[in-house]
Structure 1
Amino acid sequence: MSPETHAQLASFIWSICNLLRGPYKRNEYRKVILPLTVLKRFDSVLAPTKAKALAAFETVKDKSENIVKATLCNVTGVEFYNISKLDFARLLDDPNNIALNLNSYISAFSPNVREIMERFKFGEQVAQMQAKNLLYEVIKSFNTIDLSLQRVDNMQMGYVFEELIRIGAEQANEEAGEHFTPREVIKLMVNLLLTDEGDLTTSHIVKTIYDPACGTGGMLSTAESHIRALNQEASPHLFGQDWNDESYAVCKADMLIKGENADNIRMGDIFTEDRFPHDTFDYMLANPPFGVSWKQQEKAIGKEHESRGYEGRFGAGLPRINDGALLFLQHMLSKMRRPEQGGSRIGIVFNGSPLFTGDAGSGESEIRRWIIENDWLEAVVALPDQLFYNTGIFTYIWVLTNRKMPHRKGKIQLLDARSFFVKMRKSLGNKRNEIADGENGRPDQIAEIVRLYGAFRDGECSRIFANEDFGYAKITVERPLRLNFQASPERLARLEQERGFQALAGSAKKDPAARALEIQAGQARQQAIRDALGRLDPAKLYLDRKQFKKDLKAACAGMSPQLAQAELKPILAALGERDEAAAICMDAKGAPEPDSSLRDTESVPLKESIQDYFRREVLPHVPDAWIDESKTRIGYEIPLTRHFYKYTPPRPLAEIEAEIKTLEREIMAMLGEGAA
């Protein structure tokens, strides 16, 4: 069956949607078409063994479910069965009870098919179609379609079903981006991931492919097709997990339809319920949701991070709560095979945030640092904007592996493919661009991007960097605190607003009498401090804190008890002001105290000496500065767009002036015509 025939059959099946118009919105058609296509396919596949399966069931119906499954699947030759005497044709014999009989027929399937129908919530659609008098005609139309193995083999049926998935996703484009990655993006990812994989042509090679956010299974299917195109004898095994009911149902149905092991598609949230806790994989692909909060899973993720560290999945760090993208990547990295076992390759789609969000020492930066210092990041490809259905933003493919080729070790390749697109004739939601794949006479932009990736050379759209180029040391530059002091009326008035001074006349006691006594004593203490400060010369300006404190101590000599540190602090805050001409304030150890208002930070490339940078870039401007080495943090970021920035000079002033004068003449002419 040719691709054109696949599309024709899918189009014919989708044409049944004409019966649904009115009661169903266009974006709801898939809720009927996809599950009924699954049922009709399974009905057609089981037809030749129907009688034998029913007879075999009579011999094991009192046995355990495992024995029933093993016996009946042995008869049917596939991983599912049905023990009802009904089929699509017999459903039409009783129009008055078609809804009841259809539900009974579905409930007679093996548990794996029943689960798919439950996740589709197909019972709700049966009830709705019956209520609108549509069910009989829809079943009748599906019964005219021949989906037997003799007419459509498993691979061909997979193509047909995936075409239906695509049509349904495009017609529901306002939500498609949550579950559907554009075909050309998947094709590009798979080509980047599998290029130069020489062992794929080995006879009967077995490869495992995993997608932790598998959605409807597009990435898994495309990877499988690519491998089989290279080697018909290859054996790709597909694994996936998703927690959206409908997407999971579609993906699992697709696997069953194609004769794959559908039990390898599992339901659940990977962050709280990893359904492949002990598995590793050869290849991994994912398009996790962009900018999705992980607040709901925070407790489980935090517990694993704290208790298991690098023995778990999230040892490198936790990103900010409103974007869990890097959690997906850490999860995938935890499932890499060891290099001595062949290693793994990973492709993942991100928005721009994971490239640079997070300062040095933050969760995001620490995750990037862990990845880059382990030499796992191989390439980042910047894609055009307006590629996805639910967002117009720029996106990026990260390629990672723990078995880099020798010439790539210690290197990271950045590819700028933002200009590799063609405009779509008709937009789908936010999707207005697509990367051409050479079909229908268009350029093969996917092949060109893959060629640039494989060439691994510097050029207009490709840059090669050392891992260390993306690292930096964030240093904290301190400058000394310089204060003058004066007991002037204006500064003494500020003392009354200092919280530490106000707190002296406060009380936390609940007993009214005790509270009143404590407040009274505090007020007396406040007055004693005022009196002591009044003995200082209000006109004298101190340029040395040490001398001021000495005179202050003398002024407070008569106080009992002596001035406490908690009382001294608000006095110094109220009577002191920053003054570049003042002496440096020293701490108890004789070291300069830093002025927090003058504190600054500098990012020093890892390849450069911090001291050399400091002497060259900082000291010439602020000679009294120093580095607080206790605050130095190592950070990593990937400023991809900066490396491909092209300066565009402003237009000449004469050209702009001439254009303005032309516009002025046109406006005056228009005003003259209006007046006439």
Structure 2
Amino acid sequence: MNIMQYESKIWATADLLRGCGIKESEWPSFMMPFFALVMVESRLARMIDEEKEILGEEVFKVMEPSDRYEILRDKGQGYNVSIVEHHKNLAEICKNDKAFDIDFTAYLDSFDGETKDLLGVDATDGEKFLDIKGVITKLKAKKVLYGYTKLWSEIDLKPFNNSEITTLEEHIKRKWADISAETAGEQYTPDDVIALMAEIIADKMEDSDNLLKIYDPTCGGGNLLFGVEDRINEKFTRLTETFGQDWNDALYALAKIESRFRQDSKIEHGNTLTEDKFYNDSFDVVIANPPYGVSWKGYEKDIKADKTERFKYIPSISDGQLLFMQHLVSKMNDDAIGVVVHNGSTLFSGDAGSAESNIRKWLLDTDLVEAVIQLPTDEFFNTGIYTYLWVLNKNKNPGCIDKVMLINASEKFTPLKKSKGSKRKEVDAANRIEIVQTLLAFEDNAYARVFDKEHFYFNKQALMLTNVDSDGRSFAESLKPGKKSQVLKPIKISTGEIQLDRFTITEVDPEKYQSLAEAYEEYYKPLIAGLDYKEQALTIETAEGSYYYDSDRETLIRETGGQMVALGCGKIVIKASLKKATKTRAAAIEITAELTPDLQKDYEIIPYHKDEAANQQAIEDFMARYISKPFTLLDNVVGVELNFNKIFYQPEKLRPVPEILNELAQLDAQLKALESELEL
């Protein structure tokens, strides 16, 4: 028998949901608890049969119920009195529609406490996990509970082993992801991506008697965590132990139920970023596909108050991917390997000095990043964007130390014959082998490049430019030594429309304004803020002469007795302020004017050199070559970004000019022929 025969039968249960008006996006919430119910029942039934075979059916039959309970409880896989003691499984209960409600309630109540909690049998206002109680209530209201349960009772998974049931479970969860995941990869990582991640990890491993501890802090339903474990177990004889955590109630419950049928597996419920359930543990393998672009505002206070020192920098509140990255690094033991799925924002979002850039710099400074692999678009079930595998390694080979490899695997795929949601491509076995071999070789090829890690660093050099006029002069040259500006004592300030001749205002028209403060806020402040010395022909008259800005020459002019003197490029600054009353002076609105050099803060992006002296020389050489105005160097901040487009961009090959001219000549001939036909 092939267990996949049940895939279509399980999805046929959705037809009943559709028929009673339940939206497609809600189907998973109705199907998850019943799938878990069938899965638990089948495994429990097999466990009973195995014990009967070991002890003998007659011996098992005459055992005291408490003894049977102890034997099965010790296996940690659950218990159900209705099945074990009364031989009433879901199929038996559904044979009698008259007694169904009573029998089904008794059946659910017969599970052990942990199973009931995970299914949500007694859920009230607290954690509901799979919330089968809520689903049953809704199905009863639709009057389809019996019919829906009967469809599930016809799915007999008892003949199949754990591996086969897990395979079916992953296919079902993948379809749930197609219709219900709100963000890329939040619920389900495709099998081909899991296989690639597992093969990358396996390539860094060897057989050993040491226990291999595998950890996924965003394990969802467990497909990535258990998928990697299963593939490693196919290649090695090492004992493995899995650890996972997730705070989605339903997905945690599915992973927890699955973990109970595995030899060594611990699944915890809760928000990994605020409540790490494995805070004392470190791991040999860390993997994750954290949600992309999901805000962590709801627990911002907890993150900023975190005392674990996991978070070296706090990234933008709109995306928590790099929080998970830092958490994962904190969980790696001294020889650990990690593979993390991210979208492109973790590669380049945030300017130099931002938390995102600083996190990337920290990862490269500590030489944790061995490679970043760009996957094809249309790889995940609910997004068509590019995704990336970050390969982290705390035990790099000597040839990889202080280096990072970028692998552009965007073309390493096989098209699917039939799309699965947004998934139209898969990284097939042959391409996976090629990618892993490329990583192993750690050499440049047509789609992969190896760089010193500092290649991804850059200087963001701040500088203060001093603008000059058409003669190359700045107003700074007209100032007295040590002065940064020239304060004027205006007699009148005017533009084409505005005339000001009062510069200390202590009284205002009471018919217009009730106070100086009101006049300041409503009239003088916006008036002064709206003055533009370049655009409004602003003139300041003083006892010494008039000052204005000549836009054609980009210079300040002082005019005295008809004589105009160019002072150099600068600004006319008019300010208004409200002064409070003191013991010696009344409250007043004061208007001041001054001339300043025209300074402009700017930034230049300059290639980075790891040698400090060489880096400083590179900055100076850049300035000498490209900056013609006077300047002062300000702060320099080193940023980090990994930009695949810059490295792997292939410009479109231009056609030869003769070929284009020939084509134009042919088109011209065709047009003339058409014109001749029209004339006839």
Pair 1:162 & 2:156 matched: no
Pair 1:83 & 2:71 matched: no
2:534 maps to none
Pair 1:361 & 2:365 matched: no
Pair 1:466 & 2:452 matched: yes
Residue 627 and residue 408 in structure 1: after superposition, are their counterparts in 2 closer, same or farther (change >3 A)? farther
1:640 maps to 644
Displacement of 1:32: 4.6
Pair 1:571 & 2:557 matched: no
| Contact residue 53 and residue 72 of structure 1 kept, 8 A | no
Pair 1:379 & 2:380 matched: no
Residue 43 and residue 424 in structure 1: after superposition, are their counterparts in 2 closer, same or farther (change >3 A)? closer
| Contact residue 475 and residue 632 of structure 1 kept, 8 A | yes
2:217 maps to 212
Q: Which has the higher helix share?
A: 1
**TM-score relative to the length of structure 2:** 0.76
Residue 502 and residue 654 in structure 1: after superposition, are their counterparts in 2 closer, same or farther (change >3 A)? farther
Pair 1:618 & 2:626 matched: no
Residue 496 and residue 224 in structure 1: after superposition, are their counterparts in 2 closer, same or farther (change >3 A)? same
Displacement of 1:52: 6.9
1:589 maps to none
Displacement of 1:469: 1.4
Alpha-carbon deviations, 1:369-404, whole Å to 9, x = none? 111000001100011111122221111110112221
Residue 78 and residue 658 in structure 1: after superposition, are their counterparts in 2 closer, same or farther (change >3 A)? same
Task: Name the CA distance, whole Å, in 1 between partners of 2:246 and 2:349.
Answer: 26
1:225 maps to 230
| Contact residue 56 and residue 72 of structure 1 kept, 8 A | no
Partner-residue secondary structure (3-state), 2:213: strand
Task: Name the CA distance, whole Å, in 2 between partners of 1:175 and 1:240.
Answer: 20
| Mapping of residues 508-519 of structure 1, within 5 Å | none
Partner-residue secondary structure (3-state), 1:320: coil
Pair 1:279 & 2:281 matched: yes
Residue 504 and residue 92 in structure 1: after superposition, are their counterparts in 2 closer, same or farther (change >3 A)? same
Deviates more, 1:477-486 or 1:378-387: 477-486
Displacement of 1:318: 1.4
1:253 maps to 257
Partner-residue secondary structure (3-state), 1:360: coil
Alpha-carbon deviations, 1:158-217, whole Å to 9, x = none? 22322332344346578784311221112111211221311xx235x4211111111221
Alpha-carbon deviations, 1:43-74, whole Å to 9, x = none? 34434379979986669xxxxxxxxxx96365
Task: Name the CA distance, whole Å, in 1 between partners of 2:118 and 2:499.
Answer: 68
Partner-residue secondary structure (3-state), 1:348: strand
Which of residues 194, 197, 210 in structure 1 aligns to 2:205?
197
2:106 maps to 104
Displacement of 1:313: 1.4
Which of residues 577, 597, 602 in structure 1 aligns to 2:605?
602
| Contact residue 503 and residue 590 of structure 2 kept, 8 A | no
Pair 1:243 & 2:247 matched: yes
Residue identity matched to 2:157: L
Residue identity matched to 2:208: T
Task: Name the CA distance, whole Å, in 2 between partners of 1:668 and 1:103.
Answer: 86
2:292 maps to 290
Task: Name the CA distance, whole Å, in 1 between partners of 2:449 and 2:507.
Answer: 65
Task: Name the CA distance, whole Å, in 2 between partners of 1:424 and 1:531.
Answer: 72
Residue 476 and residue 53 in structure 1: after superposition, are their counterparts in 2 closer, same or farther (change >3 A)? farther
Task: Name the CA distance, whole Å, in 1 between partners of 2:63 and 2:420.
Answer: 51
Which of residues 317, 320, 329 in structure 2 aligns to 1:333?
329
Partner-residue secondary structure (3-state), 2:411: coil
Task: Name the CA distance, whole Å, in 2 between partners of 1:140 and 1:624.
Answer: 82
Alpha-carbon deviations, 1:92-150, whole Å to 9, x = none? 354134244323322331232122212222223334444555444444454444433xx
Displacement of 1:154: 2.4
Pair 1:46 & 2:40 matched: no
Task: Name the CA distance, whole Å, in 1 between partners of 2:504 and 2:442.
Answer: 67
| Contact residue 422 and residue 436 of structure 1 kept, 8 A | yes
| Contact residue 465 and residue 629 of structure 2 kept, 8 A | yes
**TM-score relative to the length of structure 1:** 0.76
- The alignment of Structure 1 onto Structure 2 pairs a total of residues equal to 593
Alpha-carbon deviations, 1:506-541, whole Å to 9, x = none? 99xxxx99959999xxx9xx9xxx999531123245
Displacement of 1:454: 0.8
| Mapping of residues 402-481 of structure 1, within 5 Å | 402-437=394-429, 444-480=430-466
Residue 407 and residue 91 in structure 1: after superposition, are their counterparts in 2 closer, same or farther (change >3 A)? same
Deviates more, 1:153-162 or 1:351-360: 153-162
Alignment RMSD, CA only? 4.3
Which of residues 389, 396, 402 in structure 1 aligns to 2:381?
389
Displacement of 1:366: 0.7
Alpha-carbon deviations, 1:600-639, whole Å to 9, x = none? 423231346244324432224445644524x111211112
| Contact residue 291 and residue 321 of structure 2 kept, 8 A | yes
Pair 1:323 & 2:333 matched: no
Displacement of 1:477: 2.7
Question: Any stretches of 5+ residues in structure 1 without a counterpart?
Answer: 60-69, 438-443, 550-560, 577-584, 586-594
Task: Name the CA distance, whole Å, in 2 between partners of 1:424 and 1:498.
Answer: 75
Residue 195 and residue 518 in structure 1: after superposition, are their counterparts in 2 closer, same or farther (change >3 A)? closer
Q: Percent identity?
A: 30
Partner-residue secondary structure (3-state), 1:632: strand
Displacement of 1:12: 4.7
| Contact residue 380 and residue 415 of structure 1 kept, 8 A | yes
Deviates more, 1:162-171 or 1:43-52: 43-52
Task: Name the CA distance, whole Å, in 2 between partners of 1:532 and 1:641.
Answer: 53
Residue 378 and residue 505 in structure 1: after superposition, are their counterparts in 2 closer, same or farther (change >3 A)? farther
Residue 324 and residue 459 in structure 1: after superposition, are their counterparts in 2 closer, same or farther (change >3 A)? same
Task: Name the CA distance, whole Å, in 2 between partners of 1:517 and 1:659.
Answer: 73
Partner-residue secondary structure (3-state), 1:464: strand
Task: Name the CA distance, whole Å, in 2 between partners of 1:516 and 1:240.
Answer: 62
Task: Name the CA distance, whole Å, in 1 between partners of 2:463 and 2:616.
Answer: 12
